[in-house]
Amino acid sequence: MTDAIALPRPEDLLPHRAPFLLLTDVMSLEPGVRAHCRWQLSGDEYFWPGHFPGRPTLPGVLMLESIAQAGALVVLADPRYAAKIPLFGGADSVRFRRQVVPGDVLELEVEITRMSARAGKGKGRAHVNGETACEGELLLILADR
């Protein structure tokens, strides 16, 4: 049996803060490679009343942003890039497959597939109870802090 390694809180690595920190917990992390994070949607978030009244639905762009934040966390956990800010540079092959509603726990899995001193690419998936809600490829651009 190996000793458990303390995982960082999202705010320990990411520059994002409420109301735009879209990760609640880090479940697993391999710096520079992959992460599994969660976003617990309480129903109190600012966007529910307007998207949509009577049928609250998590905006797809926020699902995609939460995947990008998990990707940024993977990059910032790598000491080579800890002094940078990974900016969301683009997304490809994005598909939204399931509605996400208040009370859902959005599981986020991201893998960085290519990284350089200036940018990185990865793929990510958001799911609820194993059912894919969103998936796609990410481009992260590294900027100086």
> Catalytic annotation on 36?
no
pLDDT score, position 5: 67
Looking at 16, 36, 51, 127, which residue is catalytic?
Answer: 51
Q: What's this model's pTM, rounded to 2 decimal places?
A: 0.95
From the options 3.10.129.10, 2.40.128.110, 3.30.1330.120, 3.40.50.1820, give the CATH code of 10-144: 3.10.129.10
Between the CA of residue 80 and those of 29, 115, 117, 118, what are the distances in Å?
16, 11, 9, 11
Q: Is residue 74 exposed (0-12), middle (13-18) or buried (19+ Cβ within 10 Å)?
A: buried
Give per-residue pLDDT as tens, 3-17. Answer: 456 899 999 999 999
Contact 117, 48 (CB under 8 A): no
- Express each pLDDT in 95-108 by its tens digit: 999 999 999 999 99
